[in-house]
Chain A
Amino acid sequence: DAGVIQSPRHEVTEMGQEVTLRCKPISGHNSLFWYRQTMMRGLELLIYFNNNVPIDDSGMPEDRFSAKMPNASFSTLKIQPSEPRDSAVYFCASSPPGGNYGYTFGSGTRLTVV
């Protein structure tokens, strides 16, 4: 199993541009989570899906952030327009049915907005 796959690994963009982060969860996992890592807040949950349905998006910072999961094997996190304070490492994680403790994280996308 290739694990949770995130792309791109690094993204540098100019303020105001649209940014799309991508995630492929582990096959058979039915929950998917988007986290953001910052020094001040650690790993912060943005949104999570169960069976492709968004369950809790209370962590999404503002309307500039949106996430989709069109099928069980793909999810996107979009920031439009991006701002310098969005610079962080964004992680995607997935977990199997029967409880969400068995999180597997991807390697993350390091986003820099200049």
Chain B
Amino acid sequence: EIVLTQSPGALSLSPGERATLSCRASQSVDAIFFDWYQQRPGQPPRLLIYGASTRAAGIPDRFSGSGSGTDFTLTISGLEPEDSAVYYCQQYSYSPYTFGPGTKVEIK
């Protein structure tokens, strides 16, 4: 089973700042099968990025994804108050399809 590790576990930033979230896989995965999700309090996860770098429909362009192999990054440029959430990475290159533990982003 592929284990995903996310860092940092949490970060607190001010509106307008940039957040850089990392996800590392225990072995190389195909970037085509790598997603990022956002989960706001009391809400289900929402797809942000698929294929490591493609924004899902309706996702603002301040969200961007990059990476390959074992290292992937989600960048949020110009944080907005509504970006306060937990962000999860997911790989589905290999079954079972696994998720990271999440990074909690707090907006000061």
Are both chains from one complex? no
Chain B residues within CB distance 8 Å of chain A: none
Chain A residues within CB distance 8 Å of chain B: none
